[in-house]
Chains A and B, each alone.
Chain A
């Protein structure tokens, strides 16, 4: 490893800068689309109107509160604050922000030392070039849900004491992992899963810029499969466009493969096997399914959607299976968000339980339901 590291000369001190600012033209050519199309101003951020309007007011001169952004992956949380910082501070934004994420050490000691000393630096209201800028700095704690509670607690004092010179922006997926004293000190903004038509529009734009051919139906499938995650949608689009050579229109099979959707056939076969009522055959089927490597949680999600709409099962049967899936049929209809909390099999799988065993036990319940 050492020689591996030494084999290249150390990069310039600013490697940290990240890809979007790489100066060599050769490099910018190979920046992936997710980075290339990362919003550069808060106005570019799609959908999250509430936070955008607050930030726009700040850019126009209003004061900035401490912020807490939360929401699912790929909805623009990191992009929004970075874009805002660039707009607020212009070319000196590197000096004015301290970005710490889950890959940085963020124990109590770091919070006490690094964050505190950064917060105590004074910040003037003008830039070196004479233009005005806000007289504060921003500490961005990205992926804050992976900070220990002790470290979060250590942040409390600093946050309170340095209100004059520093603003904090906490970003996380699950707001429940942030301790109450911190959340109560911040203005909270929930980043919604992006609406399908918004993603569609953005992908259309990228297709146009990049000269990608894609039928409306194919694009629709891709957008649906991304589940409101813009990053995932963009990565899929780029991958699909490359997997079968450039210049060829994207076909729907590629989209299905890349997004990992389980073909409908597996769902119907699963139910057929269960209807026959033999547990051992069902176990065999699950083994076969396992060899295909489809994700069990994807399967469960599709199975759940199928269950809600199908009339293969009567309500009583649905209730039995639903209990196993851990979802009352009602809540599934009410909200996708709630659903995540209730799915017990799905929860087990994501929480590390063996996919094989969990699916076998689901099959056993479906068999019981079929016989009732």
Chain B
């Protein structure tokens, strides 16, 4: 089986990192005496958080951390509901995304940390007295689950360290932030992305046009993983010869969102609202996170709407998006937002008619 470029060329050691080299060195010295605090690693998607975490683990425990196995763990909630969650682990660490079980994430947190902390390190005379739990997507944990982390993080600190991974710290409660060293991982710059695409391709004996790489870097919004996936797709499509201006395949959900925005501005009516709703529903069903849909829909609306409505659209987006996150039926909030945009747009159109 051939690996994807982004996995195959993932640096395994701090010295091999392509960017944020200083930070890499700092993290290396952080682990030097075999000890380090709980970490909260945060940064946008595809910025390399996971890569840095793996480097750190390797630095601490050696190549043994790369022998991974995945297993399914079972838990029972107090109300006797059975939960299953998949985990990836080595002899030294365990990685889990508690949000996989939705609102029951607290049960997972409560049990996993205690289990791990109460088993001692295999290597009795070994260098490390603690194991590591990597929790991903910490910003989507419920508040309850985050509270469950607090005292546990202090109590078991001698036998268990946590590495929390999040896209931003705003949603992490202050009490948890206060217990961690926060490590910011910014996205690589456009130039860095270009350089990495070209270098990766040349390791695969592919001659990658710089201009194409630049276009990909911009389109991927500096998300390195996405950029590498797009580059690889370009290569596959081109069968042999890549050209600077060749078509870059766009994810079909993005195309669909663009189309949805077009629909909203093309006609403002109940029937049209229904069409838009169908589109949005489909996107949700495909498992695209509603926050992402909202963000790109907003971007597209702003781009396509030329009538100077940006301020109003933004203001309403801020309100409806927040309500959507708070509530539980995303589609209603989407619909309300779309209806509002249609209304605003129609008003402007009418005014313009009057002016003539």
Contacts and interface: CB of A to CB of B under 8 A. Distances in A.
Interface of A: 1-11, 15-16, 18-19, 22, 26-27, 30-32, 34-35, 72-74, 78, 101-105, 107, 109, 142-143, 145-146, 173, 229, 231-232, 235-236, 238-239, 242-245, 254, 257-258, 260, 279-280, 283, 287, 290-298, 345, 348-358, 360-361, 363-365, 367-368
B295 interface: yes
Interface stretch (B198-206, B240-248, B268-276, B307-315): B307-315
A361 B181 contact: no
B315 A361 contact: yes
Nearest to B188: A291
A351 B322 contact: yes
B168 A355 contact: yes
A257 B171 CA distance: 19
A306 B185 CA distance: 26
B180 A291 contact: no
Contacts of B119: 5-11
Contacts of B122: 7-8
Contact of A296 (B36, B129, B150, B170): B170
A31 B179 contact: no
Interface string B147-177: 1111110111111000000011111001101
A74 B176 CA distance: 10
Contacts of B30: 239, 242-243
A103 B109 contact: yes
A19 to B, nearest CB: 4
B151 A244 contact: no
A143 B318 contact: no
B151 A354 contact: no
Given A8-B121, A73-B175, A367-B311, A293 B187 contact: yes
B45 to A, nearest CB: 10
B150 A74 contact: no
Contacts of A142: 151
A368 B181 CA distance: 38
A158 B63 CA distance: 54
Nearest to B41: A293
A124 to B, nearest CB: 28
Contact of A1 (B89, B117, B303): B89
Nearest to B116: A5
Nearest to A74: B178
A244 B315 CA distance: 44
Contacts of B221: 287, 291
A372 to B, nearest CB: 12
Given A293-B168, A293-B184, A348 B322 contact: yes
Given A8-B119, A239-B181, A287-B221, A27 B158 contact: yes
A368 B325 contact: no
B318 A260 contact: no
Contacts of B154: 18, 34-35, 78
A258 B44 CA distance: 17
Interface in B307-350: 310-311, 314-315, 317-318, 321-322, 325-326
A360 B317 contact: yes
B109 A260 contact: no
A111 to B, nearest CB: 13
B30 to A, nearest CB: 5
A295 B73 contact: no
A357 B317 contact: yes
A272 B174 CA distance: 31
